[in-house]
Structure 1
């Protein structure tokens, strides 16, 4: 275990994952804690996340990311985390689903350097790091899932990523408060498939997950 990570963090991760009904094997638990250690270490110099207190990072980063895992469709093989920042939820997604291809994209070079380091140190062969603006990114084929965590408004999220998916793509928007005002401005070719209020262990604020689809 990294010197940055305490036994308390390890216990909090185990208990929280259990409460979220997310089964972690020993290797996944170890990799998530190793990722947390890198996040704590690099955050001091690179300002990867506004959460400065390591004791808050398990709930606000790891468990928050794990809370959406039950809504990741098993047949969706190629995932994109847009505006990934410090790697949430893309890195936990790659750790929990080693057989899925996960791309983490950010326009900030410091953040993508950190993500590249995480890929290398944790040996995440299924992870691709892309340093680009989302509008300029042109993948070889559409993604089967696109996720964002507090990245932008729903209108911008859908407009900026429309070219990255197709009619079978699942769009997941991770939000704090329910974004009722943002949904009014949702482009007409997108529809809300489902809405979930999430309870994240250790997090006081509201959390919501909205699943979107493109319409023909």
Structure 2
């Protein structure tokens, strides 16, 4: 459906969610454009198991944007981004962040390139690659991953991408105490932030991981 055809209750839910996250309601226009494109492609390419637009607003858009206060300006690699989560919502909301959408699945990478083109995201690019094969060592101030692996697993495939002083920003559900305890030597959890996702009852946490001093 065109973005303008979304029902008013859904648009209102997104507006209220943006308010709760401290973000400008003007972002609803490009976010709904992205959602409309994702719904259209999902009918053919099965990019995400979530198909209900109302649920997508909460579990895709607002869930991705909940981490925005912890991002710095500069380069961000979103590993295993799938259909662009959280990378595309973050690129829409934070033009000062330059997002590389890392995805090895060909059909998802094609969708990502079309989304970047249609949404005119000058601060986003697509890298059709496995994270461990991305030959850009030390190129990123921040790396994120939403549902890729354990913290140790993310470090194993993407730690080489972080610049000195860089941070992994890993989105997790419940407090990931066991994953933090299993971090490899030389890495440490530097901060743990509970996230409040508007409309979502489940727990969310953002773990900041960096090289140990």
TM category, shorter? over 0.9
Deviation at 1:6, TM superposition (A): 2.5
**Deviation of 1:78 (Å):** 0.5
Q: Find the residue that maps to 1:65 and give its secondary structure.
A: helix
Residue 3 of structure 2 aligns to a residue whose secondary structure is coil
More displaced stretch, 63-72 vs 198-207: 198-207
| Structure 1 portions without partners, runs of 5+ | none
Alignment of 1:177-196 (within 5 A): 177-196=174-193
Kindly state the Cα deviation for residue 7 of structure 1 after the two structures are TM-superposed: 2.3
Residue 66 of structure 2 is matched in structure 1 by: 67
Change beyond 3 A, Cα 1:143–1:196: same
Using the alignment, how far apart are the partners of 2:179 and 2:189 within structure 1?
A: 12
Count of paired positions: 212
Q: Identify the match of residue 122 of structure 2 among 103, 122, 125.
A: 125
Structure 2, unmatched stretches of 5+, are none
Q: What is aligned with 1:205?
A: 202
Runs of 4+ in 1 over 4 A off after TM superposition: none
3-state SS, counterpart of residue 149 of structure 2: coil
TM-fit CA distance, 1:166? 2.6
Kept in 2, the 8 Å contact 1:4–1:37? The answer is no
Is 1:143–2:140 an aligned residue pair? yes
Distance in 2, matches of 1:36 and 1:83, equals 19
TM-score scaled by structure 1? 0.92
